[in-house]
A = this chain, B = another copy of it.
Amino acid sequence: MPRRLPTSEQLRTWRDFIETTEALRAVVAARLQAESGLSPGDYAVLLALSEAPDRRLRPSDLAVAISWERSRLSHHLGRMERRGLIRREGFSGDSRGAFVILTDAGSAAFHAATVPHLTAVRELFVEALTPEQMDALAQISAALRDHLPNR
């Protein structure tokens, strides 16, 4: 027997939630873009690479590190390579293997982006919420994540 549909109040909360997070994400992305010329995707890739030993990772490991599908990563790396932010290098032995390597330009772009990006997070996110709301949101994120199907 089917259960009830959401109440109109729950639906309103859902829509407000979705619209607000989308707007927030867009504003943070626009700031990042304006201040450093990087997209959130670029930033995630550069962050993972800059923390990796030798500033290099296998595409598969990088994909796991930032929770991306390999195909998405491959397309994105192609674009980043064209812009000189990373380069790819073959792997001796198993020729399936490859490395994604952070270039100096990529490293410079990442470092230039870090502080402005964190400042945007503070201004748009941290400062909007009380400490209690921040705690509650951490709980809520965990509850939503844990309720998602298998993965």
Q: What is the interface of chain A, defined by CB distance below 8 A to chain B?
A: 2-6, 10-14, 16-25, 27, 67, 115, 118-119, 121-122, 124-130, 133-134, 136-149
A122:B20 contact, CB within 8 angstroms? no
B133:A139 contact, CB within 8 angstroms? yes
Complex A-B: 7 CB contacts under 8 Å: A3-B122, A6-B121, A10-B122, A13-B137, A13-B138, A21-B144, A124-B148
Bound together, the chains give a CA A140 to CA B129 distance in angstroms of 7
Expressed in whole angstroms, the minimum distance between the Cβ of A130 and any Cβ of chain B is 8
Expressed in whole angstroms, the minimum distance between the Cβ of A43 and any Cβ of chain B is 12
| List of B residues within 8 angstroms of A22 by Cβ | 25
